[in-house]
């Protein structure tokens, strides 16, 4: 069998399971756009939580960087790929996260790989939340440390896994979970980590409304992204100076990759400044109002509508799409069998009329959807 034949057979198996996927092309700046068949839709699928990807100040900063430094950084940071804007952004991110230092990575995925392969090395132990993002899962695998998985949100399980161990330990969790939109018990995890001398790694990629807990006396590494609420592209790690220095010298996903483009870094820097301004407060308030229209009090912009079966989720997504509302159907293996869902993500860029139209479409297409949380 040739590799072509093998790939075709593997693809046919995926297709036969009803799990074939392909990219969704959306021609858009902001929530409204056009799909390839020419239909106009309002997207509730983006991670642009504050609408900053289309913010005039963010766009202008990217343009200015293109004019000054060109389209690419041309090299890794440790060679000649570092521009002044990368240094400025790292300083701004460290201040924003109230940490000593920040280290930029080209993607958030690379940031998690770098953190876990640096701090959870061979001879150590990493204790990972069962619903962690794929980048964390892959980082655990690549770390060559012993890996234990703890039950979702179960701090007592973490404590039991740490008790009696003599290996250096890392506890890693998302702060906001990408498929359910719920939050981790950060304060309690930090207390357990401080008691056992474990390093706490917090992936804050989907965190929009500020800290979700108090880390107290725990040693903490914060992983963030430039690609969601900041409307750009890239990842970062914010932590203490010694840990940041070690990342720069040990993290292969930092050392052996081209630096993020100057335009991406400049756009992210402009976005960080907006987030910390009164305008940022207004954007978060607008996002909060949009979330409350859909599910009052829900802690994040990610609102799951669990329908159960894979075909039911696909049918619901298609029915919404026919009404001009774009919401993805999320199916196994991304989520467990029997929990296929519509994953609604809200943005400050959505108007209340658009959110009302989404609610009306859900009422028509998924009766009882308000009770279909995780």
Cα distance between residue 286 and residue 292, in whole Å: 10
Cβ partners under 8 Å of residue 266, min gap 6: 61, 62, 64, 65, 85, 89
Cβ partners under 8 Å of residue 156, min gap 6: none
Among residues 46, 106, 128, 178, the one annotated as catalytic is 178
Q: Which two tokens stand for residue 58?
A: 């963010």
Say whether 43 is catalytic: no
Q: What are phi and psi of 234, to 5 degrees?
A: 140, 180
Report which of 338, 327, 345 is spatially closest to residue 291, judged by C-alpha positions. 345
Residues 322 and 10 sit within 8 Å (Cβ to Cβ): no
Among residues 206, 227, 232, 261, the one annotated as catalytic is 206
Give the three-state DSSP class for 327. coil
Among residues 55, 86, 228, 350, the one annotated as catalytic is 228
Say whether 206 is catalytic: yes
Strand order in the sheet with 32-34: 27-28, 32-34, 40-43, 325-326
Cα distance between residue 17 and residue 13, in whole Å: 6
Residues 292 and 8 sit within 8 Å (Cβ to Cβ): no
- Which secondary-structure segment (H or E) carries 342? strand 340-345
What is the CB neighbour count within 10 angstroms for residue 103?
24
Q: Which two tokens stand for residue 16?
A: 């036969």
Catalytic residue positions?
A: 178, 206, 228
């Amino acid at each position: 069998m040739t590799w072509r034949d093998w790939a075709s057979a593997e693809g046919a198996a995926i297709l036969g399971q009803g799990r074939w996927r392909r990219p969704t092309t959306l021609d858009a700046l902001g929530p409204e756009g056009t799909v390839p068949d020419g239909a106009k839709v309002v997207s509730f699928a983006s991670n642009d939580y504050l609408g900053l990807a289309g913010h005039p100040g963010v766009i202008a900063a990217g343009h200015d960087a293109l004019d000054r430094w060109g389209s690419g950084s041309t090299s890794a940071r440790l060679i000649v790929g570092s521009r002044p804007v990368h240094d400025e952004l790292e300083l701004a991110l460290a201040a924003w996260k109230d940490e000593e230092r920040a280290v930029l990575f080209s993607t958030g995925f690379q940031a998690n790989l770098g953190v876990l392969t640096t701090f959870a090395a061979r001879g150590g132990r990493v204790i990972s939340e069962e619903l962690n993002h794929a980048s964390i899962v892959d980082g655990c695998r690549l770390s060559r440390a012993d890996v234990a998985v703890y039950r979702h949100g179960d701090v007592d399980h973490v404590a039991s896994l740490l008790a009696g161990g003599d290996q250096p330990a890392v506890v890693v969790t998302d702060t906001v979970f990408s498929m359910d939109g719920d939050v981790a018990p950060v304060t309690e995890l930090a207390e357990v980590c401080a008691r056992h001398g474990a390093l706490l790694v917090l992936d804050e990629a989907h965190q929009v409304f500020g800290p979700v807990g108090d880390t107290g006396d725990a040693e903490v590494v914060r992983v963030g992204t430039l690609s969601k609420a900041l409307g750009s592209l890239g990842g970062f790690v914010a932590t203490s100076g010694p840990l940041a220095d070690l990342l720069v010298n040990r993290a292969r996903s930092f050392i052996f990759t081209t630096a993020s483009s100057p335009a991406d870094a400049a756009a992210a820097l402009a976005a960080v400044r907006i987030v910390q301004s009164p305008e940022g407060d207004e954007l978060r308030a607008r996002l909060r109002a949009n979330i409350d229209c859909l599910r009052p009090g829900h802690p994040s912009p990610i609102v799951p509508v669990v329908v159960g079966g894979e075909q039911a989720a696909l049918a619901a997504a298609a029915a919404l799409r026919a009404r001009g509302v774009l919401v993805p159907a999320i199916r196994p293996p991304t989520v467990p069998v029997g929990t296929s869902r519509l994953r609604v993500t809200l943005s400050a860029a959505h108007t209340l009329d658009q959110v009302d139209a989404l609610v009306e479409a859900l009422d028509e297409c998924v009766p009882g959807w308000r009770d279909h949380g995780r």
